[in-house]
Amino acid sequence: MIVVTGATGTVGRPLVELLAAQGVRLRAVTRSTETAALPAGVEVVVGDPARPDTIAEALDGASAAFLHPRAVGDAAFEFAKLADGHGVRRLVALSAINIDDPLTAQPSRFRGDRNREAEHAVVDSGLEWVSLRASSFAINVLQSGWNAQIRAGDVVRGPYAEFAESPLHERDIAAVAAHAFLTEDLLGERVELTGPESLTHADMVRIIGEVIGRPLHYAEIPAAMVRQGMVARGFPEDFVDSLLTRYADGIGQPAPVTDWVEKILGRARTFAEWAADHAAAFRN
């Protein structure tokens, strides 16, 4: 029995689907069953992993658990201790490739994500552990609103055209997480997961265009204007400043690319494959 926190999200949902398809017994944790829509046969547990006592019973009889940093929030150490107390033997944490950077250079912290604590909690737990240090998710481009811009025209306006990422397909992260549960291969590893290629914002827009059959291009707009727009849309100012500083500092450097995904899964999905899987989001 594996308990999955963050089970309805970007990484958790494909992880649940992959494990369920392998016949693994699962308890998927969500704060609301209304949005869960998880595969048949998966036990849905309603609770808030950020208050681990609300899901304590779900840990009974579980051999392993997925610690999702956004879902667990500030309670990562409490969650790990509770899991240990309930006889869980293995913890797999989702974390991030930048967790050793200064905290101010980790934009997601300003939105409450606790990727560093998620890794530290599993490492310090005394249980078997794996930490998945993910690079930027390819799906961030939807959260940045590129899809709406592409549906409306052939230009994506945004900051720093030449900033590079190595975007990861969410299904690859989930598949590596499934591997971490189902084999001994990754125990005690801080697995640095990236996509297979370093791509600038401009490259990524061009590739989406190639996939959907339209010539698209990225038009850089000044960081100050981007800042103003993001703050007006409700993003916290310190988050926006940290993000734009990360872009500015990274200009001219390729994004790190590791071969972990390819070694573990035998192949790593490209950004073009990700765009093909999400092509509907870019078409009217």
Closer CB to ligand NAP, 33 or 228, in the complex: 33
Closer CB to ligand NAP, 87 or 112, in the complex: 112
CA–CA dist 30, 46 (Å, integer) = 5
CB 49 within 8 A of CB 79: yes
Closer CB to ligand NAP, 74 or 154, in the complex: 74
| Interface with ligand NAP in residues 160-179 (CB under 6 A) | none
| Contact characters 132-161, ligand NAP, x per CB under 6 A | --x-xx--x---------------------
Closer CB to ligand NAP, 11 or 211, in the complex: 11
What is the Cα Rg of the chain in Å?
19
Smallest gap from residue 121 Cβ to ligand NAP (A): 13
* Identified binder of ligand NAP from the candidate list 42, 58, 70, 169, rule CB under 6 A: 70
Tell me which H or E stretch contains 158.
strand 155-158
**Residue 99 binds to ligand NAP (criterion: CB under 6 A):** no
**Residue 6 binds to ligand NAP (criterion: CB under 6 A):** yes
Name the nearest CA neighbour of 25 among 132, 133, 182: 182
Task: Look up residue 168 and give its DSSP letter.
Answer: B
Alpha-carbon dihedral angle through residues 221, 244, 9, 3, given to the nearest 10 degrees: 170
Angle subtended by helix axes 170-182 and 12-21, to nearest 10 = 50
Smallest gap from residue 34 Cβ to ligand NAP (A): 9
CA–CA dist 98, 258 (Å, integer) = 14
Q: How crowded is residue 270: how many other Cβ atoms within 10 Å of its Cβ?
A: 17
**Residue 209 binds to ligand NAP (criterion: CB under 6 A):** no
Residues engaged in binding ligand NAP (CB under 6 A): 6, 8-12, 30-32, 35, 50, 68-71, 73, 94, 96, 108, 112-113, 115, 134, 136-137, 140
